[in-house]
Amino acid sequence: MDSATRPARSASEAPSPPAEPLLLRPVGVVRSPYATPLDAPRQGEFASAEAVVEIFPEFEPALEGVERLDRVLVVWWAHLADRALLRRPGTDGVFAMRAPHRPNPICLSEARVVRREGRRLVVTGLEATDGTPVLDLKAPTPEAEGWTPLPRELP
């Protein structure tokens, strides 16, 4: 029976994800002026300093065309985060927050592309600290991200 004729399963019948740990492989590293989380802005929109997303050599072909983007979504691992923190005293749990301190400190920043220099992508709007592992880069779409692309040239 193919997927077109197979009856849909309810959510309760869907298989559970595996309980074993997942293996993530960084594609690069952040070179940032922020040495510690206390040095970094709370959100990327306040990060005006330039940072570099340095892609590892084996992933360089994946950068093709990224220099034509105005913005890029940087998926990064907050390696300095407190992974045991589930709730800050007097606040909501971490799943109701954007704080990097969480069981799986996967973060997402929408960064502005300044320029590409080979394997190095210079950006602003990235609040990650120096040495942060980069898990992925993604091209945002205006419709999905809720913004209008800026013109490349002024009239």
Check residue 137 and give its pLDDT.
Answer: 97
Whether 4 is in a domain gets the answer no
Query: How do residues 83-130 score in pLDDT, each as one tens digit?
Result: 888 888 888 888 888 778 878 889 898 899 999 999 999 999 898 889
Question: Are 108 and 41 contacting, i.e. CB atoms less than 8 angstroms apart?
Answer: no
Our count of domains for the chain comes to 1
Model confidence at 44, pLDDT cuts 50, 70, 90, reads low
- Other beta carbons within 10 angstroms of residue 102's beta carbon come to 20
State the Cα–Cα distance between residues 86 and 99, nearest whole angstrom.
Answer: 11
State the Cα–Cα distance between residues 106 and 135, nearest whole angstrom.
Answer: 9
- 90: domain CATH number is 2.40.30.70
More confident residue, 91 or 47: 91
Whether 91 is in a domain gets the answer yes
Model confidence at 66, pLDDT cuts 50, 70, 90, reads very high
Whether 29 is in a domain gets the answer yes
Whether 19 is in a domain gets the answer no
Range of the domain at 70: 24-142
Whether 98 is in a domain gets the answer yes
Whether 47 is in a domain gets the answer yes
Token pair listed for 36: 């510690």
Whether 41 is in a domain gets the answer yes
State the Cα–Cα distance between residues 74 and 46, nearest whole angstrom.
Answer: 15
Model confidence at 47, pLDDT cuts 50, 70, 90, reads low
| Residues whose CB is less than 8 angstroms from the CB of residue 150 and which lie 6 or more positions away in sequence, other chains included | 70
Instruction: Identify the DSSP state of 21.
Output: P
Whether 2 is in a domain gets the answer no
| Residues whose CB is less than 8 angstroms from the CB of residue 110 and which lie 6 or more positions away in sequence, other chains included | 44, 71, 72, 73, 74, 125, 140, 145
Query: What average pLDDT does this structure show over 38-57?
Result: 76
**CA-based R_g, the chain, Å:** 19
